[in-house]
Structure 1
Amino acid sequence: MKSRSSASLFLLCALIINNYTDSSACDFTVAVGSPVTIKLGLDQTDELQWKHDSKRVFKGEVKTLPTKLNNVKLTSDGSLVIISVKKEDNGDHEFEVFLSNGRSKAKKTITLCVHEKPPKPTVNATCIDGTPYIKCEVKDQTGRTFSWYKNGKKIDGNSASLRNIERDKEYECAVEKPIPSEKSNKFRPAKCTSSENGEEDDMLWGFERWIMISFIAGGGSLVLVLMIVLVICACQSCKRRKKRLQDKEELPRFPGSAKPPQTHQTSENTAGNQPASSPTTP
């Protein structure tokens, strides 16, 4: 009866301390350099055997504990403490408890997955089809899920990119699985100004496009009006010049006189304005 309860206690108490999160392929997932404790809670009369990837690491009575093996310490109740996890600790850790007569009492295998802790991510913005979106970027994104924060509060979304963002809000991201990272710096997205698909920029020469288009259109209209006025003035000037030339051509070409000379009379009028007598025929 005692051995049966002890076996149940072993199966229930085999857990890991200081783990980050569970992974679908692992019982526990931890980061390199972090301490890990696998609590077993064994009786002093039990005998423990520990294997790592089918290779025996320790076998002995619990009453002989604690003991230390390189980077690992076994406590007085048979718990396993890894002071600083290394990549070599990755794999299956098999724990089997035996009675004093050598009969197997309980057995459990714990799969420990060890990963490098991800660096601090960064948030960058870009545009696709005129729609802005932000992306959480970190080295080696394979198998990672992400968490997003808006104005300090966690929001839905576990992918590396986030759409439907608000320009007046501050966003942060972090790697969530398999190993969580620290949050990125706060990022406030700007207005979408360009598109990866080659759409036109919303800015022109540093100003809003519609403002510049309106200004250019207004300036073009003014230039057109000025050109029309100049053409009209030039035409009027040409007409006046042509008319002056025509007037000069119509004047008589006698030097020193503005009026044409009168016809010389063959005979002068007599006194009293009498007409001159016709000459007699001899």
Structure 2
Amino acid sequence: MDTSDSVTVLFLCFLTLFSLTDCSTCQRNILEGDSLTFKLTDGPLKEDDKFTIKKDNKLLVRKRNIKQNERWILKNTSLELQHVKLSDSGNYTVDVFDGNGKNLKSYTETVCVYVKIPKPRVNVTCQDENVNFICEIEDTKDLSFSWYKNGKDFKNNTFKVLRNVETDKSKYTCTAENPVHNNTSDPVEAACLKPNVNNKIFGFDRGIMVGILAGGGAFILLVMIVLVTVACRSRKRHARQQQDKEKFGLYTIICSSPGDRNLNQTTRDQPTSPEIYNNVSAKEVAQVPCLTKSRSGNQKHALPPPLSIDEEEEQPKPLPQPRKKAQVRKCEGLL
């Protein structure tokens, strides 16, 4: 390519704001990560020969500072750029001079760097009795698509979406490609699942009925938990009240007056469980007024302990005695 053609290509690219995709052609298509080689001379490069490489009219590298950039490697007749990136896309100008400054070689070429295409995935959607295919891929920039039916080209379709495909058991694949790389999806079948009319319970959809039954079961379980909790609390409250009544009966026995025989007799007839005394603390007994008063008087007027039931039964009842006759004194005067 001569100098006039190179200038024309650069001018067209500048008109498109340096956009590589807007340039009609790319002289070099490189896959990201590969190496880009620029030819310098047809024969071996002499020691006093010089060269410069520009990208988009900006000096990129020259011979005297070639060792300062690790990505550039100078070989016998060429210069190699390793590990190409997407940002390396652009218009490169190569100029080679001899020791006298004579131009030995000069050319310009447009370089386009493309990414490696990931594996696409075919998404199937149903519409009435037909099937729509969508070739899904992460990045669709600079990509073209092709569809295959059972391994053969199908309808020469180059779009991402394939519409109105009749349902059958054929296998369809999608291929995404750019100028340097391509990748093909896994095969899918052009079939749609028909709705199951028997997939109902009591005339309702199975999913709805399962949700209703699950909700009802959860509600019943919640009600049972509430009822059990209320019953347990009620039982504890009743036991506490019964214990309070027994303690009140004990206080009545302790504080009864000595003259209240009927109350003592009734209390004797009703034996008191020792468990009641065990549940009464010393602090509670100290709070009884009658016991406190008794302790203040040093127990001088304490009543003798009442006889037990067995002692009362052992004592014999007194026998009736005959009435004694009164002695009559005789009056001597009368006789």
Deviation (angstroms), 1:111:
1.9
SS at match of 2:87: helix
Deviation (angstroms), 1:41:
4.6
8 A Cα contact 2:130 2:165, kept in partner: no
8 A Cα contact 1:31 1:179, kept in partner: yes
Q: Partner of 2:94 in structure 1? A: 95
Trace 1:51-66 onto structure 2 (pairs within 5 A).
51-60=54-63
Trace 1:166-205 onto structure 2 (pairs within 5 A).
167-178=168-179, 180-191=181-192, 203-205=195-197
Cα deviation code 1:45-87 (max 9, x no counterpart)? 55422112323233349xxx9x68311212110x232321123
Give TM-score, length-normalised by structure 1: 0.51
Q: Does 1:26 align with 2:29?
A: no
Larger proportion of helix = 2
Trace 1:57-96 onto structure 2 (pairs within 5 A).
57-60=60-63, 69-77=69-77, 79-96=78-95
Runs of 5+ in structure 1 lacking a partner? 1-6, 12-22, 194-201, 208-282
User: Whole-Å Cα distance in 2 between the matches of residues 51 and 37 of structure 1?
Assistant: 14
Deviation (angstroms), 1:130:
4.4
User: Whole-Å Cα distance in 1 between the matches of residues 153 and 80 of structure 2?
Assistant: 33
User: Whole-Å Cα distance in 2 between the matches of residues 91 and 56 of structure 1?
Assistant: 13
User: Whole-Å Cα distance in 2 between the matches of residues 120 and 54 of structure 1?
Assistant: 37
User: Whole-Å Cα distance in 2 between the matches of residues 47 and 163 of structure 1?
Assistant: 59
User: Whole-Å Cα distance in 1 between the matches of residues 27 and 148 of structure 2?
Assistant: 28
Trace 1:201-220 onto structure 2 (pairs within 5 A).
203-205=195-197
Larger proportion of strand = 1
8 A Cα contact 1:149 1:172, kept in partner: yes
User: Whole-Å Cα distance in 2 between the matches of residues 184 and 36 of structure 1?
Assistant: 30
SS at match of 1:88: helix
Cα deviation code 1:70-124 (max 9, x no counterpart)? 11212110x2323211233222221112244313343222222223323211011
User: Whole-Å Cα distance in 2 between the matches of residues 92 and 160 of structure 1?
Assistant: 31
Deviation (angstroms), 1:204:
4.4
Pair 35,169 (structure 1): closer, same or farther in 2 beyond 3 Å: farther
Cα deviation code 1:204-254 (max 9, x no counterpart)? 4269xxxxxxxxxxxxxxxxxxxxxxxxxxxxxxxxxxxxxxxxxxxxxxx
Number of equivalent positions? 175
8 A Cα contact 1:50 1:96, kept in partner: yes
Deviation (angstroms), 1:164:
5.8
SS at match of 2:188: coil
Trace 1:2-151 onto structure 2 (pairs within 5 A).
24-43=24-43, 44-45=45-46, 47-60=50-63, 69-77=69-77, 79-128=78-127, 130-151=129-150
User: Whole-Å Cα distance in 1 between the matches of residues 100 and 198 of structure 2?
Assistant: 86
Could you say which structure has the larger radius of gyration? 2
Deviation (angstroms), 1:160:
0.7
Give TM-score, length-normalised by structure 2: 0.44
8 A Cα contact 2:114 2:178, kept in partner: no
User: Whole-Å Cα distance in 1 between the matches of residues 99 and 52 of structure 2?
Assistant: 13
Pair 206,101 (structure 1): closer, same or farther in 2 beyond 3 Å: farther
User: Whole-Å Cα distance in 1 between the matches of residues 147 and 189 of structure 2?
Assistant: 13
User: Whole-Å Cα distance in 2 between the matches of residues 182 and 138 of structure 1?
Assistant: 10
Q: Partner of 1:159 in structure 2? A: 159
Q: Partner of 1:260 in structure 2? A: none
User: Whole-Å Cα distance in 1 between the matches of residues 74 and 178 of structure 2?
Assistant: 29
**Greater relative contact order (CA < 8 Å, ≥ 6 in sequence):** 1
User: Whole-Å Cα distance in 1 between the matches of residues 189 and 93 of structure 2?
Assistant: 49
SS at match of 1:26: coil
User: Whole-Å Cα distance in 2 between the matches of residues 32 and 48 of structure 1?
Assistant: 26
Runs of 5+ in structure 2 lacking a partner? 7-22, 200-335
Q: Partner of 1:229 in structure 2? A: none
SS at match of 1:182: strand
8 A Cα contact 1:72 1:83, kept in partner: yes
C-alpha RMSD over aligned residues: 3.5
User: Whole-Å Cα distance in 2 between the matches of residues 96 and 132 of structure 1?
Assistant: 57
